[in-house]
Each structure stands twice: as C-alpha cells, then as structure tokens.
Amino acid sequence: MKVLLINPPYPFEESPTPPFGIISLAAYLEREGVEVLIEDYIVQPYSRERVREALAAFGPDVVGSTAVTMNVKRALSILQDYKRENPDVVTVMGGPHVSFDAEAILGGHPFLDYIVRGEGEITFTEMLRALDAGSSLDDVEGLSLRSNGAVRHNPGRPLIPDINVLPYPARHLISLSRYRALGFPVNMVTSRGCPNKCIFCVGSRMVGRKVRYLDVQRVVDEFEMLSTLRFRQINIVDDLFTAHKKRCISICDEITRRGIKHRWTAFARVDTVSKELLDAMKTAGCATLCFGIESGNQEILDLVKKNITLEKAKAAVDLCNAAGIEPMTSYILGLPGETPETVRKTMEFARNLSPMYGYHILAPFPGTEVREKAAEYGMRILTDDWDLYDANRSVAESVHMSHEEIDRIVNEFNGGIRRYVEALGEQKKRGEAISSSDEDMLGGIISFDFSEKLISGRVMERYPGLPNGAADETILSDFADFVGREIGYGPADVRRELSRLSSLECIGVDRTGPASKISWV
C-alpha cells in the first residue's frame, strides 16, 4: 500500500524541529514494505493545489496525520481537503491529542475514518494489512473507528516492550536542509517513558511510566550520524534523559571515546543530576540542560505532583554552573492554587535562579489529570478552541486568580524580551558596540527571517533559472538579484545569507531540468 503522512503546520515561533514521530513511524512502515511519502507543511507551504499535486503524483491509498492540541484543527482541515479531492482515500489520525479525545474527534468529523491511539507503529501497520486484505479491523488493538453509526474503541495496545526493534527514523523522507537553514536543531530520543505523575502532562499516559531504553551503542551511532548533518545543535528530547545515571554516563563516555565533537542539549529533572553525571555530560559536549521547575512555590509543586523541592532546584542549577553547563529553567503560570502572590514568588525565584528562563501558561490538554479533575483542583476550563492551546495565552484559570492577569504578566515579560532585541538592533544600526552573544542572537534572527521568507514565499520554486551551461557563480549571482527583489533584502545581506546556506549545504545548483536553478539540497 501507499501511505502519505502529514506533518501539519506549526508556528515557527515554537521552534519546530524535524518531525520525529512522523519519521519514526515512516521508518517502521518502510521496513514492513509500505511505500511512504511525507508532506511536511511546516517547511513546505500548504495549499489545495499541493494536495492535488500529491494525490496525482503519489496516488496514496491512505493519508494519515499527526497532531498536538494546538494544531489538531489545522490537521483535520487538511485531511478534509484530501478527502474532498479523493473520497476513496482512507484518512487516519494519531498523536497525543486524538489519543485522548478520540470519541469527540471521530464523532464530529465524518471525513476521518480511523484514529490510532498511543504508540502507532504496530497499530498502524496492522490496520494497513487488514485494509489491504479486506479483513475485519475488530482485532486491531489501539484503533478507534465507527461501527453501526457509533464510535468504537478497540482495546488498547500494550507498549512495545523492547524499542530496539524499531528502525532508525526515516530522515531521508523530509527536507532537513530547510530546518537547518532556519537554524532549528535536530532531535533524537534514547528512550520512551516517564516515571512521573505531573498532573499537567500526558507523557506517562502516552508512552508509559516504565522507561524503555535504546541500547547505548545504538544511541551513540545515531548521535554520531546526526553530528555530520551540519545542524547547530542536537536535542535529546527524552522525557527524562537523566533518569538512569549509569546509562547516561555510559552514553556520554562513548561519545567522548569516539571523539565526536558536537553541541547538544537534553531535558532533566532537578533531582536526577550529580557532579559525576554533569561532568561526563560536559565532556561529551552537552551545552545546555533544560529543567521544568514549573513554580517557585512549594505548595503548588506538591499540588501538581511535580515531586521536587525548590532546594533541589537551586542545587541542580549550582551543579550545572560548576560543571560549565548552562541551566535553562521553565515555569508554568496559572497552575492550580495560583494567586498573585505565588506568581510573584515564581518570577522572583526564576530571576534569582538562572539568567536563562521562560514562562508558559497552563494548557490543560486532553488526557491530563488537571483537565479531567479540573473542579477538584479549583480550575475553570475557559474554552475548547484547540487553536488557543499554545501555552502562550490562558485557556483555563485558577479560582484564586483571573486569566486576564496571567495573560498580562506573561505578555509583559515577552514584550520585555522583544523590546530588548529591538533596542539591540537600534544600537547596532548606530554603530555602537554590543556583546558577541548579542551579536550572534541578532545574526540568528536575521538568518531565520531570511530563510523563512525563502520557504514561505516559495522563492526558489519561482526562480526561472538560467540556460544550462551557465557557471555556478553566474547562477548564484542571478538568483541573489531575484531574491533581493522578492523579499526586500539588500544585496550585501542577500549575498551573506546565500553564502551561509551554501556553506551549510542547504542549497545548491540544480541542472536536472531545462534550466539551471537553485534548489534545496
């Protein structure tokens, strides 16, 4: 069978990375003999014309999409477009939102045929085999579907006990060069599962509380491969990379033994780090460790079952600083029990703990305990408009504090960051000296904006090119003039950015058609 997988649009402000879940599923399907195409609508602008082109060129039997809460409506809209263009195509959804909202999603969207709940590799493959054979789907665990006019949920599928049976993600199916051009990092995982019970997270319900590990050699093999792809950073996005101290040190030691030199980051809990572990991570190239601290108020931390203390948070940050790893801390405002006083304490705690920190606003996603027991936690759910669940605005509020006040505080904080960046830009225009780190930040913003305009405006695709036989330098020069006219950048900026993209192997001369053009590598 032919399967087209969709990565729905996601705001660039959220720094999207190559779609790990989709490419992991695609790799498993390919190994099982399924022909797969990925339409990544983050770095390839979406349109109905593109839908028609994909259907005509690839001819999929099944079109599937992933989604998180904030882009589930967009994903559904895209699947509806595919169904309208070809009513015979089978439509499927997976991902965390629909896994916990399957009844409403299937019940309210007749163009959607099936939902794959939880881990998707085996469930999706069994579904495809049943469809291909024309056999019953009753025994496909983890599948939700319609039956006799009602939504039916087949029994849940047990988690894959040994995730080492899974192939490496199919990164060859997506445009890595566009993510690299935008300056985004590349992700990998070394485990699945989270042993914790935080009431605002679906992680443990989605992938289990028992952590299942990839073998150390396999992890470092993938890390080594990623280190050759010219991304500025590798993000290890396990729910808790540092959960198993001995294994984590073994991974770091193997990276060091092989002489792999590449910047990387990971997520950790404040109660899982030690001097020995952090020293090994630093030697292996870890630059930043991200801690979700969530609140500067111990009573709130206890209420939301974070199971850490503020003292441990301070100790973890001190250990990072001593090891030379930058601690980045994040907080959630609007948690149960939140009051103006607890917000003040959290902001004071964050400022004093580390210079790298940020805030999100509580988004009670489907599947979270805080949503399912909102009244017990003194919370009011304000809307079920999933487009608003971006954790940057209030969609719920504590009975002790209005959502308007939470929004005001976060907007003020984010506005301060914007004003700081704008002031730096003005300083630079006046010829005043700024720090090297601020210079790098401004350069990154310009590079991102330039690349985003190339992608969203489909500038390369619209470039007519030059007759075959023209020298590479002539083609690049002509393309630079075209880009300047299209996106409004000055000649010096265009040349600098195109040189950057060329050196990162994001773009190159394409002579395969009737004209020589510039294309994404």
Task: Note whether 190 and 91 are same-domain residues.
Answer: no
Look at residues 19, 105, 124 and name the one whose alpha carbon lies nearest to residue 61.
124
Evaluate whether residue 451 is within a structural domain.
no
Answer yes or no: are the C-beta atoms of 408 and 347 closer than 8 Å. no
Task: Note whether 246 and 323 are same-domain residues.
Answer: yes
Answer yes or no: are the C-beta atoms of 61 and 28 closer than 8 Å. no
Of 308, 329, 359, at which residue does a domain stop? 359
Helix (H) or strand (E) holding 153: strand 150-153
Per-residue confidence in pLDDT tens, the chain, 521 aa: 999 999 999 888 777 899 999 999 999 999 999 999 999 999 999 999 999 999 999 999 999 999 999 999 999 999 999 999 999 999 999 999 999 999 999 999 999 999 999 999 999 999 999 999 999 999 999 999 999 889 999 999 999 999 999 999 999 999 999 999 999 999 999 999 999 999 999 988 999 999 999 999 999 999 999 999 999 999 999 988 998 999 999 999 999 999 999 999 999 999 999 999 999 999 999 999 999 999 999 999 999 999 999 999 999 999 999 999 999 999 999 999 999 999 999 999 999 999 999 999 999 999 999 999 999 999 999 999 999 999 999 999 999 999 999 999 999 998 888 898 889 888 888 888 889 888 888 999 999 999 999 999 999 999 999 999 899 999 999 999 999 999 999 999 999 999 999 999 999 999 998 999 999 99
Looking from the CA of 89 toward its CB, the CA atoms found within 13 Å total 27
Domain count, the chain: 3
Distance from C-alpha of 167 to C-alpha of 159, rounded to nearest angstrom: 16
The most distant pair of C-alpha atoms in the chain lies apart, rounded to whole Å, by 72
Answer yes or no: are the C-beta atoms of 361 and 391 closer than 8 Å. yes
CATH assignment at residue 274: 3.20.20.70
Task: Note whether 131 and 249 are same-domain residues.
Answer: no
Evaluate whether residue 367 is within a structural domain.
no
Distance from C-alpha of 499 to C-alpha of 96, rounded to nearest angstrom: 40
Q: Which pLDDT belongs to residue 414?
A: 87
Q: Return the ∠ at Cα 336 (arms to 335 and 339), rounded to 5°.
A: 80
Task: Note whether 14 and 72 are same-domain residues.
Answer: yes
Task: Note whether 328 and 465 are same-domain residues.
Answer: no
DSSP-H helix ranges across 141-286: 176-182, 203-207, 216-226, 245-257, 275-283
Q: Which pLDDT belongs to residue 200?
A: 96
Q: Which pLDDT belongs to residue 418?
A: 87
Evaluate whether residue 424 is within a structural domain.
no
Distance from C-alpha of 191 to C-alpha of 219, rounded to nearest angstrom: 9
The residue assigned the tokens 């580390």 is 354
Q: Which pLDDT belongs to residue 487?
A: 93
Task: Note whether 240 and 349 are same-domain residues.
Answer: yes
Evaluate whether residue 56 is within a structural domain.
yes
Task: Note whether 194 and 147 are same-domain residues.
Answer: no
Q: Which pLDDT belongs to residue 268?
A: 95
Domain assignment of residue 466, given as a range: 457-520
Strand, helix or coil for residue 135: coil
Torsion over CA: 103, 108, 113, 116 (sign): negative
Task: Note whether 193 and 289 are same-domain residues.
Answer: yes
Distance from C-alpha of 69 to C-alpha of 96, rounded to nearest angstrom: 8
Answer yes or no: are the C-beta atoms of 15 and 183 closer than 8 Å. no
Task: Note whether 200 and 345 are same-domain residues.
Answer: yes
Of 307, 328, 359, at which residue does a domain stop? 359
Look at residues 253, 255, 244, 175 and name the one whose alpha carbon lies nearest to residue 210.
244
**Cα-based torsion angle of the residue sequence 504, 220, 167, 36 in order, rounded to the nearest 10 degrees:** -10
Task: Note whether 91 and 141 are same-domain residues.
Answer: yes
Answer yes or no: are the C-beta atoms of 339 and 398 closer than 8 Å. yes
Evaluate whether residue 382 is within a structural domain.
no
Task: Note whether 233 and 138 are same-domain residues.
Answer: no
Q: Which pLDDT belongs to residue 417?
A: 86
Residues in contact with 218: Cβ distance below 8 Å, sequence separation at least 6, in sequence order: 164
Strand, helix or coil for residue 457: coil
Find residue 235's DSSP bridge partners: 187, 265
List, as own/partner pairs, every contact residues 390-393 make where C-beta atoms lie below 8 angstroms and the sequence separation is at least 24, other chains included. Answer: 390/11, 390/14, 390/70, 390/363, 391/70, 391/332, 391/360, 391/361, 391/362, 391/363, 392/360, 392/361, 393/361
Evaluate whether residue 447 is within a structural domain.
no
Q: Which pLDDT belongs to residue 260?
A: 98
Q: Which pLDDT belongs to residue 186?
A: 96
Q: From residue 292, how far is each of 242, 313, 316 by CA, in Å?
A: 13, 10, 12
